Structure 1
Amino acid sequence: MALNVLPGPIEEAKLKARLELLDNFEEQLAKAVQWQECESPAAYRQMRREGTNGFIAPTLNPTARLVYVAARDGYQIELRIISPREKLSRGTWLHFHAGGFVIGSNASYDTYLTTLSNRLGLTMVSVEYRLAPENSFPKPLHDCVDAALYALSPAGEKDLGGPLKILGGESAGGWLAVSTGLSLRRDHRFDVRSKLDAIVAGYGIFDLTYTPSLLEHTRSIVLSKQGMMDFCEACFSHIPMEKRKAPLVSPLYADLKEMPPALFLTGQIEPLVDDSIFMATRWKQAGNDTELSIVQGACHAFTLIPMGDSTEEGLDIIVDFVQMRSS
């Protein structure tokens, strides 16, 4: 089956309503405090966590439980676990949160993860990987790979709620999901195509030398061109630009053979839309089951932030993809 690189169809009135919502949202966000303006990234993270300075604290799932596993350097990685409410779990989804490698946490998106858990019958296990600039590349990736190795172990399968089936994340978490899958195959010799049901990558960045859609982006709806570059520099500034096409840094240039099915989901009004298009194309060319979904009138993080029916559409795409490929 050919890979469709065009956005899905939408009624004109529905698209108009989505675009108006985005215009209003962009205007509101222009007044928001940015992490670069704070005394430190840690101070910004605290404001978001506690709901101060105009932020709304995340809604937490009271049934979430925590498990701690050792990273390769002894650091204790916190895993936040949300189980299906009304059915037995069929397995686990290892989740890597958004936040540009700098902000966010495994408790940032409990509402989103609870919805997916209940709809899919999977246990969502979200990784509290270390953040930049305090912990630059490769530490965030190492934490995610170490969490995946634990999830694939007999002890992990018992503690977390079943066998690991999905690697998934959004934005920086999309990069982490793909890079973790590649590391499991390349560095740890796992047959990830048979071990995993799928990888779900939402609006990720896959080329750290930057794609045309980012370089040409002029809007600032959740994520601007400069904002994305600031995030990347916080995590990868020690790597010269001329070396950032290395597969460990930019998975777009990796050997993608023998990888699991993957969904690359993105909004049309998105600085990283090319990253998903290019990555899906290479994933498909490598002989892997691939789906690319581009949602019209949707911006960065549209599945995480309530954005009306574009959010519903994105969630439906994820659920349909996983249900088709997860036993």
Structure 2
Amino acid sequence: MSIHPQIAEILSTLPAPDGSPLDPAAMRAGEAAQVAPPGDRLPLHAVEDLTAATPAGDVPVRIYTPVEADTYGVLVYFHGGAFFLGSLDSHDHVARSLAKESGHKVISVGYRLAPEAAFPAGLEDCYGVVRWAAENGESLKWDGKNLAIAGDSSGGNFVAAVAAKAHDDGFFAVTHQILFYPSLDLDFDVDRYTSLRENAEGYGLETAGLLPFNSFYLNSGADPADPLVSPIKREDLAGLPPALVITAEHDPLRDEGELYGQRLTEAGVNTTVSRYAGANHGFVQNFAWIPEFSRVFQETADFLTQD
């Protein structure tokens, strides 16, 4: 189907890319200016900023407690932003919705960004916080059952990489992985996936912009041939946690997400791939207020509670 009309209307107001160099500082400032004031945010029982002490260093986290309860499942969330954008604030509304709909305590990770922090700093921060959550289960009131990881776009990349690192380290506490339109292959050959050509222009994220946007990460030492950088290149996916892969119909990254889900299934991993018709890349962050897309949070909650 065509792009959702409300998304199309907003996209029509955006300036076309002019090919000028990307300015991380200016783009981060623009992102910060769009953050809703605290009084306009989805209310929860508690929201607390803490610092997680990890082997990678102290990592800022924001912990969302949906309701008062004796115990909780825990979901660790990695925001998107092409490895150089995004923050605890820019994705605060996503974390709140995940907490409210799932009933899980959500830990959002303020990982270090490229280009200031070279690979694998951000990935190590994310993995460190997952280990920290497991080690601090008593203070978090973790129920000892669900310890899920979730992320959107580049955050979905970190989900896949963290799941692989945990498996290889013999750390089997991670119970679910949730990838929202993940960026899983940082080799941007336009002939690699049909969606890179089908959705090349006019849908927000453009194929021609993938390399410039990810260049801050790649130039910091991230090798696209490394499975921790391009998780779809991991040869053996057996033994990874059950997965929910959410894709968008009008997204250049659609096919790599769906291929990853297919490969997980072939490796014996319980996997659900769910494509959102009429959606574009970033819809969980930008367009979840549209009723057809808000169900993504309920689908996530259902995945976390299924046997």
Q: Deviations over 1:248-295 (max 9, x none)?
A: 221112121111110000110011001111100111111110000011
Q: Distance in 2 between matches of 1:34 and 1:310?
A: 33
Question: CA 1:95–1:28 in structure 2 vs 1: closer, same or farther (change >3 Å)?
Answer: same
Q: Distance in 1 between matches of 2:260 and 2:31?
A: 31
The answer on 1:247 being equivalent to 2:232 is no
Q: 2:49 aligns with which of 66, 71, 74?
A: 66
Q: Distance in 2 between matches of 1:226 and 1:323?
A: 39
Matching residue of 2:73: 91
Contact 1:98/1:171 (8 A) holds in 2 = yes
The answer on 1:27 being equivalent to 2:12 is yes
Deviation at 1:115, TM superposition (A): 2.1
Question: CA 1:122–1:141 in structure 2 vs 1: closer, same or farther (change >3 Å)?
Answer: same
Q: 1:315 aligns with which of 289, 297, 301?
A: 297
The answer on 1:103 being equivalent to 2:85 is yes
Q: Which has the higher strand share?
A: 2
Contact 1:206/1:252 (8 A) holds in 2 = yes
SS in 1 for 2:227: coil
Which one is further off, 56-65 or 144-153?
Answer: 56-65
Question: CA 1:287–1:37 in structure 2 vs 1: closer, same or farther (change >3 Å)?
Answer: closer
The answer on 1:287 being equivalent to 2:272 is no
Matching residue of 1:6: none
SS in 2 for 1:158: helix
Q: Which amino acid aligns with 1:82?
A: Y
Q: 1:199 aligns with which of 177, 199, 209?
A: 177
The number of residues matched between the two structures is: 294
TM-score by length of 2: 0.87
SS in 2 for 1:23: helix
Q: 1:190 aligns with which of 171, 181, 186?
A: 171
| Matches for 1:218-229 after TM superposition, within 5 Å | 218-229=200-211
- RMSD (Å), alpha carbons: 2.5
Q: Deviations over 1:10-58 (max 9, x none)?
A: xxxxx56x532232121122279999544xx133213321x2xxxx223
Q: Which amino acid aligns with 1:281?
A: Q
The answer on 1:324 being equivalent to 2:302 is no
Contact 2:101/2:298 (8 A) holds in 1 = no
Identity of aligned residues (%): 26
Q: Which amino acid aligns with 1:117?
A: A
SS in 1 for 2:255: helix
Q: Which amino acid aligns with 1:301?
A: G
Question: CA 1:126–1:213 in structure 2 vs 1: closer, same or farther (change >3 Å)?
Answer: farther
Matching residue of 2:102: 120
SS in 2 for 1:45: helix
Deviation at 1:239, TM superposition (A): 5.1
Q: Deviations over 1:71-125 (max 9, x none)?
A: 4343x20010000135555221000001111111122222222222122110010
Q: Distance in 1 between matches of 2:20 and 2:150?
A: 25
Question: CA 1:239–1:68 in structure 2 vs 1: closer, same or farther (change >3 Å)?
Answer: closer
